[in-house]
Amino acid sequence: MGKLEVTVGKLRFERPGMVASGIMDETGDSMVRMFRSGAGAAVTKSIGLEPRPGHNNPTFTEVEGGYVNAMGLPNPGIELFREEIEIASREGPVIGSIFGGNAKEFAELAFKMEDHGTVAIELNLSCPHAEGYGAEIGSDPHKVRTIVSAVKSSVNIPVWAKLTPNTSSIVNLGKAAEEGGADAVVAINTLKAMVISPELRRPVLSNKFGGLSGPAIKPVGVRSVYDLRNALDIPVIGVGGITNWKDATEYIMAGASAFQIGSAVGTRGPMVFSEINDGLRMFMIDNGYRSIKEMVGVAHE
């Protein structure tokens, strides 16, 4: 049998797919369900210092090839979230996603996340639809470096930087994260997007614009991972439109040490993780790969 375990820096995961931030990860029980469906780790919903309701509905709509959403970072706040992490951590590794408005807020949130029991921190430097957060600060390499560096000095667990593709050079953002001391980068977050109703003559989402996810963005993500792998020494985690084992394999061959899944939890269901695990095992047997690691970055050779 092909072995599905992967390593991201010093962290080891039994299975290569993680549930991406913002997907079935607002409660401990839903993260447990993702582990039981075959996910190797769960990245939490992005958590801030205070409870936040997010944008008004409509916050989501289907489009050809994916979804456009502008949830607006709803979350119960870092204090209340402790209980959810405790429940989820009994069943599998939890990565705490956090968002702040500046380096100080990020550092404080990361410190609390580590105390809550997460195995790593994922910095949301890429949400495209929340004013003053996410991509608004994450598209400036200087800010990325400063934030990563501040978080690194406040925690002992690995720090991952989730990058935005809404930039002229994602590689520059990746380099900034690496210089700041990041242990890995995660690419990509959603692409800034808008949907308009012709009959009603206005943007559908209450926030007007949102972020495009799903199969439509997969080639953008694969290219980003490929470029980041070339430019960086730290591991890359691939995310964006993975729906089946072939998509996952593209990301791995582009250079991803592990991958995350979001939209497909809606289109395929939570069992998308075990479907992909099964598909990867078969592919590895058929092609003589003994580990995922042997496949990482082979498209560069």
Report the catalytic residues: 127
Min separation Cβ 37 and other proteins, Å: 10
Q: Which helix (H) or strand (E) holds 184?
A: strand 184-187
The only residue of 14, 32, 49, 181 in contact with other proteins, by rule CB under 8 A: 32
Q: Does residue 105 belong to the site contacting other proteins (CB under 8 A)? A: no
DSSP string, 91-141: TS-EEEEE--SSHHHHHHHHHHHHHHT-SEEEEE---TTSTTSTHHHHT-H
Rounded least distance, CB 266 to other proteins, Å: 4
Q: Which stretch binds other proteins (CB under 8 A): 2-10, 54-62, 168-176, 222-230?
A: 54-62
Please, which residue, 197 or 287, has the CB nearer to other proteins? Answer: 197
Least Cβ distance, residue 31 to other proteins (angstroms) = 9
Q: Which is nearer to other proteins, 99 or 226 (CB)?
A: 99
Minimal distance, residue 262 CB to other proteins, in Å: 7
Closest CA to 23 of 262, 242, 238: 262
Among 46, 69, 89, 249, binds other proteins (CB under 8 A): 69
Considering only 7, 14, 49, 52, the residue that binds other proteins (CB under 8 A) is 52
Return the residue matching tokens 């939209």: 263
Tokens read off for 256: 């991803």
Q: How far is the CB of 70 from other proteins (least distance, A)?
A: 10
Work out the burial of residue 273: count CB atoms within 10 Å of its CB; fewer than 13 is exposed, 13-18 middle, 19 or more buried: buried
Torsion of CA 288, 230, 190, 271, to 10 degrees: 10
Question: Is residue 294 near other proteins by the rule CB under 8 A?
Answer: no
Q: Total number of residues binding other proteins (CB under 8 A)?
A: 41
The CA distance from 293 to 12, in Å, is 12
Each residue 168-207 as x (binds other proteins by CB under 8 A) or -, in order, gives -----------------------------xxxx-x-x---
Q: Nearest CA to 141 among 153, 151, 149?
A: 149
Min dist. Cβ of residue 23 to other proteins (A): 6
Looking at the Cβ atoms of 45 and 152, the one nearer to other proteins is 45
> Phi and psi at residue 237, in whole multiples of 5°?
-110, 130
226 within 8 A of 254, measured Cβ to Cβ = yes
- CA–CA gap between residue 175 and residue 172 (Å, rounded): 5
User: Using CA atoms, how far apart are residues 280 and 207, in angstroms rounded to an integer?
Assistant: 38
Start-to-end C-alpha separation, the chain: 25
Select the residue interacting with other proteins from 3, 7, 14, 61 (CB under 8 A): 61
Closest to other proteins by CB, 56 vs 153, is 56
Q: Is 33 in the site for other proteins (CB under 8 A)?
A: yes
Give me the 245-284 binding string for other proteins, x by CB under 8 A, dash otherwise: -----------------xx-xx--x---------------
The interaxial angle of helices 141-152 and 103-116, nearest 10 deg, is 40
Interface residue list for other proteins (CB under 8 A): 22-27, 29-30, 32-33, 45, 51-54, 56-62, 67, 69, 71, 74-77, 80, 197-200, 202, 204, 262-263, 265-266, 269
